[in-house]
Amino acid sequence: MPFAAAGLGQQFLDSFTFMGNNTSHLLHDTLATIALSGAALGVALAVTLPFAVWLGHLHRGSGMAIRIANLGRALPELGLIAIFLAILGIGFLNVMVALVIVGIPPILANTFTAVDGVDPDVVDAARGMGMSELWIVFKIELPLALPLMFAGIRTSALFVIGASPLAAIAGGGGLGEIIVNQASYGFDGVLAAAIWVAALALLVQALLALLQRAITPEGLKAQARARGEKVVVGISDAERAMEATPSHA
Amino acid sequence: MGLLIAASGPVIPNFGGASDKCAVNNGFFCWNWFTQHWGSTFGPAVVQHIILTAIAVGIGFAIAFALALLAYRFDWMETPIAGISSFLYTIPSLALFQILVPFTGLTRLTVEIALVSYTLLLLFRNIVTGLREVPEEVRDAARGMGLTQRQILLRIDLPLAVPAIFAGLRVATVTTISLATVAAFVVDEGLGAPIFDAISRGNFKTEFVAAAALAILLAWVADLLLVALQRMVAPWAAKRRSSVVPRSVVRAIRGRRRPISAVRET
């Protein structure tokens, strides 16, 4: 085992040499990965958010939302890419559609749960003050739902970026091109690309957390601080919200 | 790793035997070809896939359970364990399988190490949270009745944590089934093998669709079996959870200082 550890250490160092020698190549592929994941996440958000917020606002379809989310969770990324290879052929579109499906479940489950779970007394008070339904959604429910919603979006980003290297199998480009092509880039290259993907995932997590902090209303932040709570909740909370399926009917 | 990437240059198509017209024309799904190759390709792949998953979830559960008990007993251990397992979770699967190859070779061991490391975060988090969510009053009552620490753990904490533990097991199993398809990148096993085979044949659709559909089916069946198992192990849990999200989670996230009954039931 000590030999293996020393070997991995050496490989690790070599991978940084690779990064130094191939920076422009890696950056180019990273941009492709960002474009692919970003497009997939964007489409997933655009499709899911309005639907989930609407369902949550009406407090309807809880079983359906969570069931779709869980079924979605069971879809293997590689399997999706394979099916879309059969339908759409090789290329960006195929992989993007597969990644959209990978990205939807956490957003759906968390957004629904968050909006559905907003304190009904608060919504009642808002209604009593004469707020319209749309106003209630944007001014009351969404701000209160933000922490859990963002936990879902961050989980989704993690899933999508994590699955993005598989894109290379179907000609989707990005850092996966290096990861699947050890013959050309060597072990150092594979390791370097893997480190970049992991770093990208962590970086996006951090950026999303900052974004969440920026758009959370001051009042809510002050309230959270007063209670000694975190403004930004972790991925694991989102995971748990997803797992909390009502037992299969 | 003698596999062909779909995008890398021309491949001479070779879609099954010449006798099957549907397969030769690369139809979307050729039932005949599928049934002819069930015995040689898909059947064994399903069995291998189940074995890969069962070993990974089994070992992952054992490790996560031990770690969770440690973190439950010693609070300070939770952050480092969660941090390391989160980091493992962010490494792309396709890469992790390859990174291990120089040390453990193109073997099942390589695949299992990677798969186990992906289950840790999901299982560890759920077991710890499940244990932590046991109401303090219940523990107090147990202490008052004279139960020892160990008895409280075995008779109070663990049974009450069963729903959370099963929730973790379900997600971990489904995720492992999904990731095990990627394992075919390093070993010729599981339902990923037909997918890579289909690529090397020049994108043979029937094989893509069949392998993917079987993987999805397998995930759903495994999930249903775990639900059934939970009902057997903890029949009380099904009744307790009527809301979409356990109230404790909603409370934890929103930080409500309100009576539980005020949280909306759906």
Tokens read off for B20: 């099957």
Show which of residues 177-196 on chain B sit within 8 Å of chain A, judged by CB atoms: 177-179, 181-182, 185, 191-192, 195
Asked if B92's CB is within 8 angstroms of A164's CB, the reply is yes
Do the beta carbons of residue A149 and residue A48 sit within 8 Å?
Answer: no
Q: What is the pLDDT of residue A175?
A: 86
Q: Is ipTM strictly over 0.95?
A: no
Instruction: Flag whether pLDDT at A53 surpasses 50.
Output: yes
Instruction: Flag whether pLDDT at A127 surpasses 60.
Output: yes
The CA distances from residue A247 to A28, A138, B244, in Å, are: 46, 32, 9
Pick the closest to residue B124 from B79, B175, B179 (CA basis): B79
Cα separation, B111 vs B224, whole angstroms? 25
pLDDT-derived band of residue A185, with 50, 70 and 90 as boundaries? confident
Between helix A218-226 and helix A142-163 the angle, nearest 10°, is 90
Asked if A79's CB is within 8 angstroms of B212's CB, the reply is yes
B135 contact partners, CB below 8 Å, separation of at least 6: none
Asked if B99's CB is within 8 angstroms of A202's CB, the reply is no
* pLDDT, mean of residues A159-172: 84
Query: Which residues from chain B sit within 8 angstroms of residue A74, using beta carbons?
Result: 174, 177-178, 216, 219-220, 223
More confident residue, B36 or A32: A32
Supply the DSSP string of A44-83, one letter for each residue: HHHHHHHHHHHHHHHT--HHHHHHHHHHHHTS-HHHHHHH
Do the beta carbons of residue A43 and residue A100 sit within 8 Å?
Answer: yes
Show which of residues 180-209 on chain A sit within 8 Å of chain B, judged by CB atoms: 180-183, 187, 190-191, 193-194, 197-198, 201-202
Cα separation, B132 vs B72, whole angstroms? 7
- What phi and psi values does residue A60 have, to the nearest 5 degrees? -120, 155
Tokens read off for A158: 């993690």
Q: What is the pLDDT of residue A37?
A: 92
Q: What is the pLDDT of residue A166?
A: 84
More confident residue, A60 or B49: B49
Q: Which residue on chain A is closest to B223 by alpha carbon?
A: A74
Do the beta carbons of residue B164 and residue B248 sit within 8 Å?
Answer: no
Supply the DSSP string of A191-248, one letter for each residue: HHHHHHHHHHHHHHHHHHHHHHHHHS-HHHHHHHHHTT--SS--HHHHHHHHH-PPPP
Q: What is the pLDDT of residue B257?
A: 42
The CA distances from residue A66 to A123, A193, A248, B227, in Å, are: 23, 35, 11, 15
Residue with tokens 């979830």: B57
* pLDDT, mean of residues A60-73: 76
B112 contact partners, CB below 8 Å, separation of at least 6: B52, B55, B56, B59
Q: C-alpha B199: how far from its chain's center?
A: 25
Cα separation, A192 vs A182, whole angstroms? 11
A134-159, pLDDT tens digit by residue?
Answer: 889 888 888 888 888 888 898 899 88
Q: State the average pLDDT for chain B.
A: 79
Instruction: Flag whether pLDDT at A102 surpasses 80.
Output: yes
DSSP symbol at B157: I
Q: 3-state class of A216 per DSSP?
A: coil
Cα separation, B129 vs B163, whole angstroms? 11
The CA distances from residue A93 to A7, A75, A158, A171, in Å, are: 39, 18, 20, 10
Query: Which residues from chain B sit within 8 angstroms of residue A144, using beta carbons?
Result: 254
B140-179, pLDDT tens digit by residue?
Answer: 899 999 898 888 988 888 888 888 898 889 889 988 998 8
Give the CB-side neighbour count of residue B65, counting CA atoms within 13 A: 13
Show which of residues 100-129 on chain A sit within 8 Å of chain B, judged by CB atoms: 112-113, 116-117, 119-121
Phi/psi zone of residue B187: left (φ > 0), alpha (ψ -120 to 50 degrees), beta? beta
Q: What is the pLDDT of residue B258?
A: 42
Q: What is the pLDDT of residue B167?
A: 85
Cα separation, A27 vs A31, whole angstroms? 6
* pLDDT, mean of residues A154-170: 86
Q: What is the pLDDT of residue A13?
A: 78
Instruction: Flag whether pLDDT at A200 surpasses 60.
Output: yes
B241-260, pLDDT tens digit by residue?
Answer: 444 444 555 455 554 444 44
Domains and CATH numbers, chain B: 30-233 (1.10.3720.10), 240-266 (no CATH)
Q: What is the pLDDT of residue B231?
A: 86
Neighbours of B114 (CB within 10 A): 26
Percentage of chain B with pLDDT > 90?
A: 17
Q: What is the pLDDT of residue A40?
A: 93
Domains and CATH numbers, chain A: 23-243 (1.10.3720.10)
